[in-house]
Structure 1
Amino acid sequence: MQTSGFTNAPVSQLLVFWVVVASVLASVTDTKYYFYLQIVPQISQWGQFWRLLVWQTCYTNSTEVLFAAMTFYHLRVIERLWGSRKFASFLLLALPFSLLLPPFLLAILRPLTFGRLNYLPAGPTPLIFAILAQYQAAIPSMYTYRIGTASPTPDPPQIPSATITLSSKSTNYFLPLQLALSQFPSAILPAAVGWLIGNAYRSEILPGTSWRVPGWLVGQGSRRDARRVEALRRRMEETEEAIATGVESPRARRP
């Protein structure tokens, strides 16, 4: 059974706190207009390159704040699986890519779409989808179910019914999907980039995937304790992967 609250998930707790408080402060101080990004005129004409660093600071409407906070809360299971140290390292490694890749791609896509794509909505949507990619790959489904439009005994029986197969994880995808579609089509690009960053990290394509933040930064004890926790985490991760794929890892076979 999944533990409720933020037990063993201090980084996720900080993310939820940051999403809510930063958005409230931007609203109270009337500074929301500082956090979205446009290639034209903000970057190309006005030279506001500082927006490349701040556009993920907060969301600018309450609906997105709610969806983002709930998504970070649901995805805290990744921090519990990995440990806070690896989870924080992953976020810090993914952050520069998630900040700079969407504006770079937007600058390329803008002339190709005749100026239709020129805007990046504010908020850490790329980071959310980078974590969501880990959730999709690492957490197995507990069960599946089907939703159909026909009765169990259709009449006539030869007409196929329209059904959709869902899993126990499906509901956790609805909230981030709302974020990706909230400001369509502009929000699709940061969501897609975040998903690619998450999969690149998992495939060890991103440089520095073995790097870890200092243990004291996430409240861990001595270096020896940190090594023990890291070894235990790796064994648990291999076991989870074996359960999800049905294939035992060669390292997991070692006595």
Structure 2
Amino acid sequence: MVTASGFTHTPATRFLLTLLISLSLGASILSLKPYLPLKPTPHLWPYLQLWRITTFQLAYTSSTELLFAAAILYQMRVLERVWGTRKLASFVVSCYGLCMVGVVGLGLVVKVLSGGWWGYVPAGPSSVVIAVVAVWRREVPRLGGFKVLLGGDEREERDASTARGLELSDKWTVYVLASQLALSQFPFGLLHAAVGWLVGSAWTEELVPGGLVRWRVPAWVVGEDARYKSGRGQFEGLRRRLQEEDRDGMREVTTGGMAAANPSQDERRGFLGGVGRYFTSGS
């Protein structure tokens, strides 16, 4: 398990967090919040504002949902270290499209089945975040856990291994945050959670259509050139830096050897020369 802290080796996660927070704050400052949520009626019919289908996942209108989503994405940086930046970026792009189609399609079905009562899709990429959690649950192993005792006699409490209790893993905090995100704007937020969990589970089982599991974004999108794409030059920067350090080290050794072979006049004078230089340096 990679133990690097912060956003080390996770440029995609850092970019996604920065973009999500910036767009959400920008929408709030510019008073664009009314344009983010999606209502089949009247946005899709009769106004025909089809552009809302592609933009309702860009930003949040609620600071609470933004906080939960940002905290979850920060925990998902471990998935980028396991997968790599390019694979994670490809997954997020694919999930954005799949969740967009799934949320809108399922929303229309629920609207028809509910007799027109269900007619609101909250703004924000909650479905994409939940999909990342579903994949993270399968790809990242648990590191530990603990048990919450539910009560019992003194003999059972002494032996925690046999006592009745609820066993929790070290991932429980992410699950709590995901639950809070799904229950935000209840019950409409459940639509995002259901679609996101289905898309993430289908991705892990390679059930998504069109071979999206094997599709990757272009290398230049994540800052990889042709050398990195073909596997050559992957350690070129490290090799060049080591060569420069070797040259600097040899230069220091050579300079030190020359200084030792040719001591200055003050150094040849010894102790008395140093005392005299001390009293004459201020004049």
Same fold (TM over 0.5): yes
What are the residue-to-residue correspondences of 1:1-255 with 2, within 5 Å? 2-150=3-151, 153=154, 163-206=165-208, 207-223=211-227, 226-227=230-231
Question: 1: distance between equivalents of 2:200 and 2:14?
Answer: 20
CA contact (8 A) 1:150 1:162 kept: yes
Deviating beyond 6 angstroms after TM superposition, the runs of 4 or more aligned structure 1 residues are none
Structure with max Cα Rg: 2
Give 1:154 deviation, angstroms.
7.7
Give 1:140 deviation, angstroms.
1.3
Question: 2: distance between equivalents of 1:107 and 1:225?
Answer: 42
Q: Percent identity?
A: 36
Aligned length: 226
CA contact (8 A) 2:36 2:52 kept: yes
Give 1:146 deviation, angstroms.
1.8
Structure 1 residues 204 and 227, CA gap change in structure 2 (3 angstroms):
farther
Normalising by structure 2, report the TM-score. 0.74
* Letter matched to residue 128 of structure 2: L
Q: Which residue of 1 aligns with 2:241?
A: none
Question: 1: distance between equivalents of 2:105 and 2:229?
Answer: 41
Which protein is richer in helix relative to its size?
2
Alpha-carbon RMSD across the aligned residues, in angstroms, is 2.3
Structure 1 residues 143 and 221, CA gap change in structure 2 (3 angstroms):
same
Normalising by structure 1, report the TM-score. 0.81
* Letter matched to residue 22 of structure 2: V
Give 1:151 deviation, angstroms.
5.1
Could you give the per-residue CA deviations for residues 121-159 of structure 1, whole angstroms, max 9, x where no partner exists?
Answer: 10001110111111110111122322133256289xxxx
CA contact (8 A) 1:98 1:194 kept: yes
CA contact (8 A) 1:220 1:226 kept: no
Q: Which residue of 2 aligns with 1:248?
A: none
Unaligned stretches of 5+ residues in structure 1: 156-160, 231-255
